[in-house]
Structure 1
Amino acid sequence: MKKLKKILSQLMLIVCLSTFITPNVAVITNLPVVATAQAAYNKETINDVQEALNNEGYNCGTPDGVVGKNTKTAIKKYQKDNKLKITGTINNTLLKSLGVTVTKSASSSTAKTEATVYITRTGSKYHRAGCRYLRQSQIAISLSDAKRNYEPCSVCNP
């Protein structure tokens, strides 16, 4: 019993200390968005897969470009019947088997990524990430919006 009490008290001490002693955590902004394999296909491609599955007799419902429950179920059945790896997701093997080609959407090929700059709560200038004038506060804003309403910082020169 004494050993158990000693172990529990040591455990409590460790838990208490670990909540008070934490390393400094830096705030990271502008991380890239990581897309899952399923999200790698646009609505047009998903719509083509749904139409192909429906034509093959695997009911996906009305093709809408969204991989829902019915589409996942139909994909799994198709993969099982055609001796493919059963994943329930759209992949290159499934596309090849169905004869579907990946369509590139017009919006994704012409879309430009907008640069992000930062302003402070009280300032009248926009800054790059890491500028020394952003110590107190930083509010993300697109570069085009910043150019319309603010002046560029003369130190970081965004």
Structure 2
Amino acid sequence: MAASDQSVEETLAVASVLSSAIGARIGSYICDVFGRTQTLSTRNGLSVIGPLLMAVSPTLSISIIGQVMIGMSKGVATLSICTGLSVIDPLLMVVSPTLSISIIGQVMIGMSIGVAALTVPIYVSEVSPSEIKGRMIVLTEFSVMLTRGK
């Protein structure tokens, strides 16, 4: 991405945050229809496809789609994926040939964050033993804070 204008940075930041809210809203519906496991699997796929779209897209619109996919998938389902993507996302934005590619990538990131923020704590509470359920949920939310910082 050649432009380093402040408005470009603001646009990318807003794309991720707004798509996180959208991901959280549609995440509950997706969980009800497809279940927690399928939703988390889809989230992981979005977190991989989003940065790839940002890196290879020649247009702004494809970049925005990539960011939306990443946004929908970010979260704590797998700490290593989230940590890796937190490092890869800025790098992909730097090498992105156009602003549109970067915006699509940010929107995908935001959507994945929203879906994971809703789905992962519920899934952890369902699979955790009752004696450590509270600690597991707290650690899950803490890992979100560490991996994404939002």
Q: Could you say which TM-score interval applies, normalised by the shorter chain? A: under 0.3
- As a proportion of its length, which structure holds more strand? 1
Greater Rg by CA: 1
Give the TM-score of the pair, scaled to structure 2. Answer: 0.23
Give the TM-score of the pair, scaled to structure 1. Answer: 0.22
